[in-house]
């Protein structure tokens, strides 16, 4: 967990002054988008733990996993050592941890690493109540994460236009997503090595290293393939149409089965630990035995 810049307000009553309206305020004018975005993994990225779950907070929508956080002291939280994984339907050691003991973070650590977990999984400023409990402004990644505080827009939509990250171009869009979709090591430093399997989770870093991105003339961004207002499409073949907008004529040098999805070969899944795996967003040609490093890179070309 980690990553986006943290906005911290110590007095909860000041949260409204930050100009956030909440996703429900968007529904009257954007009903269809509100309805579909509410079903996405982003919208369900953070929730209070349910009665059947451990801890106080559940991080993740459960598409792959849910990690739990427990408040253990007025100024300390623990990222629990056991995470629920969909692929096994049960609990195992949390990604990045060595055992089931968990890792303790101080709320006001100078690096603000733990507050950044809440920042990336919620919308708006993070507040701390009178008992020093962390209070997210709005659970999950909702409208105002991408479009900015909307209270003024709700009052007067014509005069107060909202931000559209797409206007920053493909590279800017990818940097925006990369504020949270990135991976750190234990020191908090971002993993940069493209041959490190841990950064398979860092989709924007790997996409930026793809020839598809470098040769797209600023057209290829995260939202080329992923509509942020729709649930994540998990059928690899559904992305073929996006590939064919640039690769209408396939240039395969060996026979390829008619039913194979482009992504299954050119964006193979990379194991990250014993349970998790992520699609390699460094679009390239890979040998079946090595889904992390492209064939051309290993050959020095």
Q: Cα–Cα distance between 247 and 210 in angstroms, integer?
A: 15
pLDDT tens-digit map of 44-82: 999 999 999 999 999 999 999 999 999 999 999 999 999
Judge whether residue 183 has pLDDT over 50.
yes
Rg for the chain, CA atoms, rounded:
20
- In angstroms, the Cα distances linking 2 to 119, 220, 228 are 8, 25, 20
In this prediction, residue 286 carries a pLDDT of 94
Q: How confident is the model at residue 2 (pLDDT cuts 50, 70, 90)?
A: very low
Mean pLDDT, residues 84-98: 95
Q: How confident is the model at residue 252 (pLDDT cuts 50, 70, 90)?
A: confident
Mean pLDDT, residues 86-109: 94
Judge whether residue 186 has pLDDT over 70.
no
The lowest-confidence range among 66-70, 147-151, 154-158, 297-301 is 297-301
In this prediction, residue 300 carries a pLDDT of 44
Question: What number of CA atoms fall less than 13 Å from residue 15's CA on the CB side?
Answer: 19
Q: What percent of the chain lies above the pLDDT cut of 90?
A: 72
Q: How confident is the model at residue 17 (pLDDT cuts 50, 70, 90)?
A: low
Q: Cα–Cα distance between 231 and 118 in angstroms, integer?
A: 21
Q: For residue 176, give the nearest of 210, 214, 226, 134 by alpha carbon.
A: 226
Q: What is the 3-state secondary structure (H, E, C) of 142-188?
A: CHHHHHCCCHHHHHCCCCCCCCCHHHHHHHHHHHHHHCCCCCECCCC
């Amino acid at each position: 967990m980690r990553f986006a810049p943290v906005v911290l307000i110590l007095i909860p009553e000041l949260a409204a002054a930050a100009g956030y309206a909440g996703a429900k305020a968007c529904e009257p004018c954007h009903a269809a988008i509100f309805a579909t975005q509410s079903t996405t993994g982003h919208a369900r990225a953070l929730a209070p733990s349910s009665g059947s779950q451990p801890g106080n907070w559940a991080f993740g929508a459960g598409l792959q996993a849910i990690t739990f956080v427990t408040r253990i002291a007025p100024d300390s939280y623990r990222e629990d050592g056991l995470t629920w994984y969909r692929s096994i339907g049960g609990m195992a050691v949390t990604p990045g941890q060595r055992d089931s003991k968990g890792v303790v973070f101080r709320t006001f650590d100078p690096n603000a690493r733990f507050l950044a977990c809440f920042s990336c999984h919620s919308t708006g400023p993070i507040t701390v109540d009178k008992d020093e409990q962390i209070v997210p402004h709005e659970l999950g990644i909702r409208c105002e994460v991408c479009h900015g505080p909307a209270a003024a827009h709700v009052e007067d939509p014509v005069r107060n236009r909202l931000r559209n990250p797409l206007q920053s171009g493909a590279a800017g869009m990818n940097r925006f997503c990369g504020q949270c979709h990135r991976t750190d090591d234990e020191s908090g430093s971002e993993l940069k090595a493209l041959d490190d399997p841990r950064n398979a989770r860092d989709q924007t870093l790997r996409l930026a290293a793809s020839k598809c991105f470098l040769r797209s003339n600023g057209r290829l961004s995260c939202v080329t393939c992923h509509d942020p207002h729709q649930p994540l499409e998990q059928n690899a073949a559904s992305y073929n149409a996006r590939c064919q907008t640039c690769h209408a004529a396939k240039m395969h040098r060996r026979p390829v089965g008619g039913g194979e999805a482009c992504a299954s070969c050119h964006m193979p899944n990379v194991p990250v630990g014993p349970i998790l795996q992520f699609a390699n967003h460094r679009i390239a040609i890979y040998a079946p035995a090595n889904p992390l490093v492209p064939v051309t890179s290993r050959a020095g070309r």
